[in-house]
Amino acid sequence: MASMSPDEERVLTDEFIDRVTYTKEYSLKGMIRGLTLPPAVPLPPSSSSSKSSLGRLNGLPVELLHMVLVFLDGQSLVRLAETSHRAKEIVDTLPVYQELRQHIPDVLVALAKTHMLRCHGISDIQRALRSSACASCLVSFGGFFFLPTCERVCFDCLYENRALRMITLANARECFRLTARQLETGVPILNTIPGSYSVKWHKHHPNVHRLVNVRQVKAYAIKVHGSIEAVDALLPSTKPGNWSARKYNMFKSFHEASLEPPGRDLTLLPEQIDAVNDDFGGVASIRVAVKG
């Protein structure tokens, strides 16, 4: 873990972290709960470990292999460890992997269960772990890990920042005029873990939902349609007769979502009269309060 100054160590006390990450029971129920997820269990050693190899890579020194492995995504790293006992030894001794398994095993499991592990490099996950500020407002402590974008965010930004919201594939297709194939190939798709969630609004999701992040799908829509202006033109200037007011306001909020971090406390902004509640608040975030 990155070293911390004496002042930072005094500030990041257990009491402080508990307070800023909303660790009261009713608040923890609003996120993915690490304690409900099975721990990462190491594979048993192979009975033929002395004959195990990495194929063409077997002659490379461990130090060089480690330099290469840090560029893999989490899923590729786990799959490599399953190919042979020698591969497992190399992966298990990789410093970045050891650090993540020690400090955030529940986050790794959550990434795997939601199909997000393949979307992030192992070094990117480490970088997020070692950070502390919210990647959205840039001022608050980022006590939660947002799985789709591999960032630490604060509780308020999870609700206030519309770019962090998750939406169904059907809404993404209609809102940004994308095909099912385009979404499947161009945007990371998160599979939710069934349960009850809430970021200010309680929702029970007993079934698995396939969702995409607003910021990621909007950025992809700009790439597909050619410009931000072309994407803006997709939203009607007035509510179509066959749309509900909620649907129009929801799509409008998705189009207005900023691709850049707001960089300020969003709770200080005037409340929007036509704001739509988040249907999937909490399904893509998990508490991570590492002190170093």
The answer to whether the beta carbons of residues 198 and 29 sit under 8 Å apart is yes
Phi and psi dihedrals of 237, rounded to 5? -70, -25
Range 204-208, long-range pairs (CB < 8 A, 24+ positions)? 205/280, 205/283
The rounded Cα 118 to chain-centroid distance in angstroms is 12
Cα dihedral 43, 45, 47, 48, rounded to 10, equals 100
DSSP string, 186-233: HS--EEPPSEEEESSSEEEE-S--EEEEHHHHHHHHHHHHSSHHHHHT
Q: Where are the domains of the chain?
A: 18-154, 157-286
Residue pLDDT, tens place only, 4-49 = 555 544 455 555 555 555 444 445 568 887 544 454 455 555 544 4
Burial class (CB in 10 A: 0-12, 13-18, 19+), 282: buried
The answer to whether the beta carbons of residues 90 and 65 sit under 8 Å apart is yes
- 3-state secondary structure at position 286: strand
H or E element, residue 11: helix 6-11
End-to-end CA distance of the chain: 5
pLDDT at position 103 is 87
pLDDT at position 24 is 45
pLDDT at position 280 is 94
pLDDT at position 177 is 97
Residue pLDDT, tens place only, 181-197 = 999 999 999 999 998 88
pLDDT at position 84 is 82
Strands annotated E in the chain: 144-146, 151-153, 166-168, 190-191, 195-198, 202-205, 210-213, 285-287
pLDDT at position 260 is 95
Angle at 208 between CA 204 and CA 214, to 5 degrees: 85
Question: For 199, how many CA atoms within 13 A lie in the half-sphere containing its CB?
Answer: 29
- 3-state secondary structure at position 275: coil
Query: Which portions of the chain are predicted below pLDDT 50?
Result: 1-2, 8-10, 22-26, 35-37, 39-40, 47-49, 291-292
Burial class (CB in 10 A: 0-12, 13-18, 19+), 39: exposed
Q: Give the pair of three-digit tokens for residue 57.
A: 């890579």
pLDDT at position 37 is 41
Q: How many residues does the chain have?
A: 292
